Amino acid sequence: MRALSEGLAAKLRRDNETARACWEPLAEAGDPRAQYYLVNLYDDDFNNHLEAALMAERLTMSAAGNDPQAQYYLGLLFQYGRGVARDHNRALEWLTRAADAGDMQARYRLGHMYRHGFGVVRNDTIAEEWLRRSDIAFVDVVNVEEIDFLPP
């Protein structure tokens, strides 16, 4: 899709208005990548006018289109209650879908959640498995039990 590429090129030039003009029609038509890009554009733009609820709505459309990155970020929105009601079950659902689709950040986040019992029952065995599957470089170097530095 040419408009997606043109939007990405504009974003790299920091031309958010052109990127928005490229992606909004595609996002409105249901394109999950355009919805995801548009959410990130608005999230990065400190002068944006997109409300958090609309951002969550667009991410939901993109995540439902099986975009693992959108699933990951939607899981975070539910985990922290940004634009949606805080819901640990929905966070776990979306993060697991993203992780099962291969998203390494989602796998790491799930490991962290289980390690600290954030929104789930603490389980070091499940935590270790998700952390190892995350393929984050330092997981192989550091003892998994020492990974306590991220806030839940």
Model confidence over 2-18: pLDDT tens digits?
Answer: 888 898 898 888 888 89
Residues 138 and 88 placed together within one structural domain of the fold:
yes
Q: Which residue segment(s) compose the domain that 15 sits in?
A: 1-50
Residues 100 and 43 placed together within one structural domain of the fold:
no
User: pLDDT: is 30 or 124 the higher one?
Assistant: 124
Total domains in the chain come to: 2
In a domain, 58, yes or no: no
Residues 42 and 76 placed together within one structural domain of the fold:
no
Question: Residue 72 is part of a domain; what is its CATH number?
Answer: 1.25.40.10
The answer to whether the CB of 111 falls within 8 A of the CB of 134 is yes
55-75 per-position pLDDT tens digit: 788 889 889 989 998 999 899
Residues 137 and 108 placed together within one structural domain of the fold:
yes
Type of residue found at 94: W
In a domain, 59, yes or no: no
Residues 45 and 112 placed together within one structural domain of the fold:
no
Residues 120 and 73 placed together within one structural domain of the fold:
yes
- Between vectors from CA 138 to CA 75 and to CA 39, what angle results, nearest 5°? 30
- Alpha-carbon distance of 39 to 33, in angstroms, equals 10
